[in-house]
Amino acid sequence: MFETSGSTRKFFDNLTSFETKAASQVPTFDRTLDSYFDRNFESIVEEWGLITEADLNEYARRLEFLSYEVGRLYAEKDMLRSQADSIDKALKELEGGK
């Protein structure tokens, strides 16, 4: 019906974020919870088994190494299979030559 002016709207938007010194000292659930997590962060991570960025970096390094090793092992498997086939072929020639 009646439109609110831009400056009035801006004032009311800022009012919700307005915090006085007294308001910041009044204990609230959010502040208490934040304070608890700040004090006990390391033990919470350990107790809950949460991973850290360092853990993620280590897992990424291990994954890269294992991926490399799998590729190398497949190549070695193919080479060994080729050698086994050539040995098998040579044995059949020797057995057939009797």
Return the pLDDT at 47: 87
Q: How far apart are CA 20 and CA 22, in angstroms?
A: 5
Q: What is the pLDDT of residue 4?
A: 61
Query: Contact 45/52 with Cβ under 8 angstroms?
Result: yes
**pLDDT value of position 98:** 55
What pTM was computed for the model?
0.45
Give the confidence band of 77 by pLDDT, cuts at 50, 70, 90: very high
Residue 21: its pLDDT value, please? 63
And the tokens for 46?
A: 């350990």
> For the segment 11-68, what is each residue's pLDDT rounded down to a tens digit?
666 655 656 666 666 666 777 888 888 898 889 888 888 888 999 999 999 999 999 9
61 close to 54: Cβ distance less than 8 angstroms:
no
Q: Which of 90, 66, 89, 70 is nearest to 78 (CA)?
A: 70
Whether residue 5 is predicted with pLDDT greater than 70 in this model: the reply is no
